[in-house]
Chains A and B, each alone.
Chain A
């Protein structure tokens, strides 16, 4: 598999329509692991970092973890490719900007990514569409077991898996669920929903759009506590309590919008559809905003001639690096706006 093969379609997490997809975009679990007998990355000399990166790459590729594993060396990859990986949620922004030897291994289904030499020696990530945390934890533990057959991880009887930052120590496990909450945002109740969750030790942040900007309707909910609970317990809290609450709030807000402000909501949705179908110049933030409303319209049964898959793909394929890769030319923002508008019109079957 080559990196260019990835460009043409979205990963499983955006292509698939997993459970609860009206509110839950994706489920992600990440494990932080470090090799025993090695300093953490910030304390490694450049030669050691290189040795580590090569050793980890070879081990991952030889361990036959998943079919069609592709390894990308971040430093030698071009800027556009690094951006592409960030847009696909396969590497962190921090890693995209790294100058030290590091990389990422990605499987053919693109639901598994193993970052090498990020903050920790290894960051294993499994990403699925909708609410699929039990599938996700099952898969990531399998990957961890397989890797463990080939190397020793730094482990302490009291502190568990040792990580470069103490905020990940213990399980090294971070659950992140991405939610689409347009109705709560519209009714102004999103803050109330977050406050209700504030004693559950969660981090909630807006999803970042292009550059430093964030689109208003997408939120990522993650656990903060990584020690003192089993991996299964952390996941259970999300599946049984935290996420069902958010789903419930958002669904109720959608119902209330439909019963109280139906024409205002329909107006917003159908204006968004026409804008996307007729705009000649459109930026990525406005695209995100409009797609978010259309996505809600599809789930409300208002928009019938656009399917979820198309919308989900547009979220990804209209982002700067993807757009430039698909059209196979580098473009400055003004030129991108024109190309983006045309791309969207074609995908939505407009003239």
Chain B
């Protein structure tokens, strides 16, 4: 069941039912109209909106950001913008020029983690990316039914994981 917003044409995501003295009224609102109605308070824009704004504001960097992509999982900037989900841990490096300013706006200006750090070491980015690359190869080998190669790649992953 999808509703359009009572106030504008966008899809409604906030649905409220009020029953006053047996009279039921329903409200269907989009995020934005719900905010103006005081129903939800949203101080941060959704990531997709922030990305859009970022691109508009820095039009000189549009082309530069469009060329960003991850050579580990293959995610392109366009794909990131569409689904607003990243593809692999390396994307935080690959898309850093966009993510830095984006996080600054979405996260009260902060882009540096100061909280908990995992106890276990062995978590360095280079090794993790090497594993990710082998996993991508493994995916290809399985698709091509090259099981010998797949087995060799699995061993490589195990070896890397245990060092």
**Chain A residues with CB below 8 A from B127, complex form:** 37
From B133, which residue of chain A is reached at the shortest CB distance? A37
Beta-carbon contact of A190 and B132 below 8 Å: no
Most buried by B among A144, A208, A213: A213
Other-chain residue from B18, B37, B116, B135 in contact with A216 (beta carbon distance below 8 A) = B18
Question: How many B residues have CB within 8 A of the partner chain?
Answer: 60
Interface residues of A in 156-177 (CB under 8 A from B): 156-162, 164-167, 169-171, 173
In the docked arrangement, what's the CA distance between A198 and B106, Å? 14
User: Is B115 a contact partner of A190 (Cβ separation < 8 A)?
Assistant: no
The residues of B that contact A167 with a CB separation of less than 8 Å are 44, 47, 106
Task: Indicate if the CB atoms of A166 and B102 lie closer than 8 Å.
Answer: yes
B107 interface contact, C-beta 8 A: yes
Pairwise interchain contact A228-B116, C-beta atoms closer than 8 A: no
Give the contacting residue for B89; candidates A141, A149, A154, A286; CB below 8 A: A154
Contact call A230/B92, Cβ cutoff below 8 A: no
A227 and B132 form a contact (CB under 8 A)? no
Given A36-B128, A39-B135: A231 in contact with B123 (beta carbons within 8 A): no
B128 touches A228 (CB 8 A): no
Q: Which residues of chain A are within 8 angstroms of B97 by Cβ–Cβ distance?
A: none
- Interface hub of B37, B89, B103, B123 (most chain A Cβ within 10 A): B89
Residue B39 interfacial (CB < 8 Å) = yes
Interface residues of chain B, those whose CB is within 8 Å of chain A, are 1, 3, 14-19, 24, 26, 37-44, 47, 73, 75, 83-89, 92, 99, 102-103, 106-120, 122-123, 125, 127-128, 131-132, 135, 139, 142, 157, 160-161
A sample of 25 inter-chain contacts (CB < 8 A) reads A38-B132, A39-B135, A43-B87, A157-B113, A158-B111, A160-B113, A162-B89, A166-B86, A169-B113, A194-B41, A201-B44, A203-B43, A203-B44, A205-B14, A205-B40, A208-B15, A209-B17, A212-B1, A216-B18, A225-B110, A228-B114, A229-B114, A230-B115, A231-B115, A285-B24
